[in-house]
Chains A and B, each alone.
Chain A
Amino acid sequence: MHRKKLFRLTRLTLSSICLLLILAPWIASTQEGTRGFTTCISCHPEVEQEMTRSGGHKPFADFQCSGCHNPHVAKYKGLIRDKLEDVCRTCHQDQNVAEMGRYVHVPFKDGECLSCHSPHVSDNPDLLRASGQKLCFTCHEKEGSFERKHLHAPVAQGECLSCHVNHSSDNDFLTRMPNTELCAGCHPSETPAARKGHQGYSVQGSDCMSCHSPHSAQRSGLIKENLHPSFARKDCRDCHSGDLWQVRGDASGVCLPCHRDTEESFMKVYSHVCSGVFCVNCHSPHASDQGALRKTQETKICLNCHQDTQYFVRGKENMYRHPLVDKGECSKCHQPHGSDNRLMFYGNEITQCTDCHGRQASITHPIGKETVDPRSKRDITCITCHKLMGSPYEFALRQDRAADLCRDCHTDY
């Protein structure tokens, strides 16, 4: 009996030692973490308060401040160990922009994870900074397109993620599915009501967003604000014919008989002319929330093809831009159909600017036909020195005016 008790005691002791040996590193690290954490909160008491809340980021909850921060020195704000996006991806390796869909949410693309997520603790799932659409509206303007008379049900319920995804998608506007499939999940297109609402035409496989606003509208049925006159009159046959509702006329011949001046506007040295009914590359033939029945915002239409400009306009370092660029009014300076001037301007590279900037026309570095840029031998214009789409230098200058801007030409200075 005594031997049996002794054997059990020995077994228990050995088991305890083994357990201790296994747990020792964890205990040590936790103690060390707690000790490190104690050191941190001696100067950062707000962090201690955050610790009392549930829903903490795992390294934070485990007192692993040094998982993300360097306690001594760092190149990044908040003593972050590395670029924020790289710190996050140390653990969240599946969130790699390079492996994402065609369209990437801008803050995600720019590695600004903290735009949406809290690094330490949050009352919302996935450490989101706010719940539901409140978070989205911190960047996406609620005024206007989300506040019209008739609201789309998911918008009214604050469920942006019913239709959109948060990080990336193969579909524009980060929608869950292509526009041609997205709506059918809730709104079957082949019901008698749907047919009746579309003059008997089957809208299966159509892009609903070409006529309906996805968020809100003044019109019932979420029909967009500006209507093509034939569409407003429900005279579909003005432009369509036959049982298959083919487009009338040859290519753009469906548009040009009414828009006679438009043809000439494309017959320029520089032109946005294309094959087929090219008008619908930029304009909606039915309804739009934009002026001139544009398919979407002007900048979005233009930058879709002008990717170099996209880089200048959206580059984080290019903080100085022409105000019209920020307003997204490309067509204030550039002719959208065609132009006989450089860069598709309305006038030449000087009058295009001096029409608004009259004072600069008289008080300026010499510009015009009599001047010669010594580098290229061509005449000097406003955009010889200014890069209006986006520049890291004040006044949207091409280079630093305290250094290379002048010396590029004035080499003897």
Chain B
Amino acid sequence: MVIKKVVLTITALMAILFLSGTGLCDQAEIRHLASMSRIEQNGIFGLLGGVFYDEERQRVYFTDATNGRIMSYDSRFEFISEFKGAEGMIAPVGIVRDSKGRFFVSQPKTGQVLMIDIDQKRIMPLDMSVVPGGNPVYPGALAIDLNDRLYIADRSNQRIILFNPDLRFSGIIPVEGRGLKDVTVDSQGRIYTLNTMDGSVRVHNSHGQRILEFGSRGKGRGEFSFPISLAVDGAGTIYVLDQHLSKVFVFNRSGQFLFDFGQFGWIEGRLRYPSSIYVNKAGKIFIVDQQNARVCVFQ
């Protein structure tokens, strides 16, 4: 009897070791922490845009495009306040905040990126007139690096538009492939882009040269159905959110598929047509759960 128990225990331990080695067991480590959803103070959420975590102030910000507001939550995911801009901010989508405390929101409806300085009570659109031709700029996702350099995913021209901290246009990074949807930047200044249509992730160095490319749409392991957003954590792990599968695909810094997590549904911890992802320094994963009108937090 004792021998049988010992054998069983050893077998179970071996299985766990094997599974953790293959990465198949890793998704058990991802757990749902909280959701920022409708409460009396914040009212009904409309179409939610991007989500951003301000490391310095330990706050979560996300946009509510339908109601033209920026929502602010503390590090325990309790509602703090909403910011409704003056007439300038109509339907904000992408959002980031720089080290000076200035918000930047993209506003596709007007083709603008707005700089919002709440302390100074100032809203100013960035000057896009100097950006070279092509289609009218459609500013989607935003990213900001440690030097306050702003990255704008211009979906209508398949490129990243760069602005310096002094809010001057500083260049473009053309992105190969089809269907540019998201951009993010890591602590090393590497720029990550995601194309929805061809399902490709591209990593560029800080000079804009492509250093890695991976990902495709399909039905195989680690292949996307409809990748919509991406994020990268401090260790260089890349998270790609798939809207149609309600899943997050996780890749190592070389683009090797590790595991996925997420499940379709309504209840806490499930996702329904999620649209945006962000990972903070502490490894918390923020997901805009579009059809459930909430922002979910996983660890």
In the complex, what residues of A have CB within 8 A of residue B69's CB? Answer: none
B49 beta carbon closer than 8 Å to chain A = yes
**A378 touching B47 in the complex, CB below 8 Å, given contacts A273-B138, A340-B66, A340-B109:** no
In the complex, what residues of A have CB within 8 A of residue B159's CB? Answer: 275
- The interface size of chain B toward A, counting residues with CB under 8 Å, comes to 45
Cross-chain contact B45 with A378 (CB below 8 angstroms): yes
Q: How far is the CB of B86 from chain A (nearest CB, A)?
A: 19
**A274 touching B155 in the complex, CB below 8 Å, given contacts A308-B225, A376-B266:** yes
Q: How far is the CB of A286 from chain B (nearest CB, A)?
A: 21
In the complex, what residues of A have CB within 8 A of residue B294's CB? Answer: 376-378
Cross-chain contact B135 with A251 (CB below 8 angstroms): yes
Other 10 A-B pairs with CB < 8 A, given A267-B138, A369-B44: A267-B111, A269-B47, A274-B158, A278-B135, A307-B217, A307-B226, A375-B267, A377-B294, A378-B44, A379-B293
Q: How far is the CA of A235 from the CA of B248 in the complex (A)?
A: 50
**A269 touching B65 in the complex, CB below 8 Å, given contacts A275-B157, A341-B47:** yes
In the complex, what residues of B have CB within 8 A of residue A271's CB? Answer: 108, 138, 155
B110 beta carbon closer than 8 Å to chain A = yes
Q: How far is the CA of A256 from the CA of B186 in the complex (A)?
A: 37
**A379 touching B44 in the complex, CB below 8 Å, given contacts A267-B111, A271-B108, A275-B158:** yes
Q: How far is the CB of A148 from chain B (nearest CB, A)?
A: 34
Majority DSSP secondary structure for residues of A touching B: loop
In the complex, what residues of B have CB within 8 A of residue A305's CB? Answer: 197
Query: What are 28 A-B contacts defined by CB distance under 8 Å?
Result: A250-B133, A251-B156, A251-B157, A253-B135, A267-B108, A267-B138, A268-B109, A269-B108, A273-B138, A274-B158, A274-B179, A275-B135, A275-B156, A275-B158, A275-B159, A275-B178, A275-B180, A278-B135, A307-B217, A307-B225, A342-B47, A342-B291, A375-B265, A375-B266, A376-B292, A376-B294, A378-B45, A408-B266
Q: Which residues of chain A (172-198) have a CB below 8 Å from chain B?
A: none
Q: Which residues of chain A (129-179) have a CB below 8 Å from chain B?
A: none
Q: How far is the CB of A271 from chain B (nearest CB, A)?
A: 6
Q: How far is the CA of A305 from the CA of B159 in the complex (A)?
A: 21
Q: How far is the CA of A413 from the CA of B39 in the complex (A)?
A: 26
Majority DSSP secondary structure for residues of B touching A: loop
B21 beta carbon closer than 8 Å to chain A = no
A30 beta carbon closer than 8 Å to chain B = no
Q: Which residues of chain B (218-260) have a CB below 8 Å from chain A?
A: 225-226, 244-245
Q: Could you count the A-B residue pairs with CB atoms below 8 Å apart for me: how many are there?
A: 107
Residue of B nearest to A305 (CB): B197
Q: How far is the CA of A250 from the CA of B134 in the complex (A)?
A: 5
Q: How far is the CA of A271 from the CA of B108 in the complex (A)?
A: 9
Cross-chain contact B109 with A269 (CB below 8 angstroms): yes
- Count class of interface residues, chain A: 20 to 34
Residue of A nearest to B93 (CB): A269
In the complex, what residues of A have CB within 8 A of residue B143's CB? Answer: none
A266 beta carbon closer than 8 Å to chain B = yes
Q: How far is the CB of A277 from chain B (nearest CB, A)?
A: 9
B101 beta carbon closer than 8 Å to chain A = no
A27 beta carbon closer than 8 Å to chain B = no
B37 beta carbon closer than 8 Å to chain A = yes
Of the candidates B47, B156, B226, which one forms a contact with A340 in the assembled complex, judged by CB atoms under 8 Å apart?
A: B47
B95 beta carbon closer than 8 Å to chain A = no
Q: Which residues of chain A (370-392) have a CB below 8 Å from chain B?
A: 372-373, 375-379
**A274 touching B156 in the complex, CB below 8 Å, given contacts A269-B65, A342-B291:** yes
A263 beta carbon closer than 8 Å to chain B = yes
Cross-chain contact A263 with B136 (CB below 8 angstroms): yes
A34 beta carbon closer than 8 Å to chain B = no
In the complex, what residues of B have CB within 8 A of residue A379's CB? Answer: 38, 44, 293
Q: How far is the CB of B174 from chain A (nearest CB, A)?
A: 9
10 tightest Cβ-Cβ pairs between the two chains A and B: A275-B158, A375-B266, A308-B244, A378-B293, A376-B292, A377-B37, A251-B135, A269-B65, A376-B266, A273-B156
B290 beta carbon closer than 8 Å to chain A = yes
Q: Which residues of chain B (47-95) have a CB below 8 Å from chain A?
A: 47, 49, 65-66, 91, 93
A352 beta carbon closer than 8 Å to chain B = no
Q: How far is the CB of B168 from chain A (nearest CB, A)?
A: 23
In the complex, what residues of B have CB within 8 A of residue A251's CB? Answer: 134-135, 156-157
**A278 touching B267 in the complex, CB below 8 Å, given contacts A250-B133, A250-B134, A340-B66:** no
Cross-chain contact B37 with A376 (CB below 8 angstroms): yes
Cross-chain contact A378 with B65 (CB below 8 angstroms): no
Cross-chain contact A308 with B109 (CB below 8 angstroms): no
Q: How far is the CB of A89 from chain B (nearest CB, A)?
A: 20
Q: Which residues of chain B (1-59) have a CB below 8 Å from chain A?
A: 35, 37-39, 44-45, 47, 49
**A267 touching B292 in the complex, CB below 8 Å, given contacts A340-B66, A376-B37, A377-B37:** no
Q: Which residues of chain A (248-293) have a CB below 8 Å from chain B?
A: 250-253, 256, 263, 266-271, 273-276, 278
Q: How far is the CA of A250 from the CA of B157 in the complex (A)?
A: 11
Q: How far is the CB of B176 from chain A (nearest CB, A)?
A: 11
Q: How far is the CB of B62 from chain A (nearest CB, A)?
A: 14
Residue of B nearest to A372 (CB): B38
In the complex, what residues of B have CB within 8 A of residue A369's CB? Answer: 44
Cross-chain contact A267 with B110 (CB below 8 angstroms): yes
Q: How far is the CA of A172 from the CA of B217 in the complex (A)?
A: 18
Q: How far is the CA of A250 from the CA of B180 in the complex (A)?
A: 19
Q: How far is the CB of A232 from chain B (nearest CB, A)?
A: 26
Q: How far is the CA of A274 from the CA of B156 in the complex (A)?
A: 5
Cross-chain contact A378 with B37 (CB below 8 angstroms): yes
In the complex, what residues of B have CB within 8 A of residue A276's CB? Answer: 135, 158
In the complex, what residues of A have CB within 8 A of residue B155's CB? Answer: 271, 273-275
Residue of B nearest to A349 (CB): B291
Residue of A nearest to B289 (CB): A376
Q: How far is the CA of A103 from the CA of B119 in the complex (A)?
A: 58
In the complex, what residues of A have CB within 8 A of residue B244's CB? Answer: 307-308
In the complex, what residues of A have CB within 8 A of residue B217's CB? Answer: 307
In the complex, what residues of B have CB within 8 A of residue A269's CB? Answer: 47, 49, 65-66, 91, 93, 108-109
Residue of A nearest to B111 (CB): A267
In the complex, what residues of A have CB within 8 A of residue B245's CB? Answer: 308
Among the interface residues B91, B109, B135, which one has the most CB atoms of the partner chain A within 10 A? Answer: B135
Q: How far is the CA of A253 from the CA of B136 in the complex (A)?
A: 9
